[in-house]
Structure 1
Amino acid sequence: MEKIRKGDDVVVIAGKDKGKRGTILRRCDAEHVLVEGVNRVKKHVKPNPVKGVVGGIVEKEMPLHVSNVSLYNPA
Structure 2
Amino acid sequence: MMKLKIKSGDTVRVIAGDHKGSEGKVLRVDREKNKAIVEGVNLVKKHEKPSAQNPQGGIVEKEAPIHISNLSLIDPKSGETTRVGYEERDGKKVRFSKKSNEVI
- Common fold: TM-score over 0.5: yes
TM-score (norm 1): 0.87
What stretches of structure 1 of length at least 5 have no aligned partner?
none
- Give the aligned CA root-mean-square deviation in angstroms: 1.3
Query: Structure 1 stretches (4+) deviating beyond 6 angstroms?
Result: none
Q: How many residues align?
A: 73
Q: Corresponding residue for 2:53?
A: 52
Identity over aligned residues, as a percent?
52
Mapped partners of 1:25, 1:4: distance in 2: 11
Higher RCO, 1 or 2 (CA under 8 Å, sep at least 6)? 1
TM-score (norm 2): 0.64
Whether 2:23 is the aligned partner of 1:38: answer no
Secondary structure (helix, strand or coil) at the match of 2:69 reads helix
Q: Corresponding residue for 2:100?
A: none
- Output aligned runs, 1:53-72, within 5 Å: 53-54=54-55, 55-72=57-74
Secondary structure (helix, strand or coil) at the match of 2:59 reads strand
What stretches of structure 2 of length at least 5 have no aligned partner?
81-104
Mapped partners of 1:26, 1:42: distance in 2: 19
Secondary structure (helix, strand or coil) at the match of 1:67 reads helix
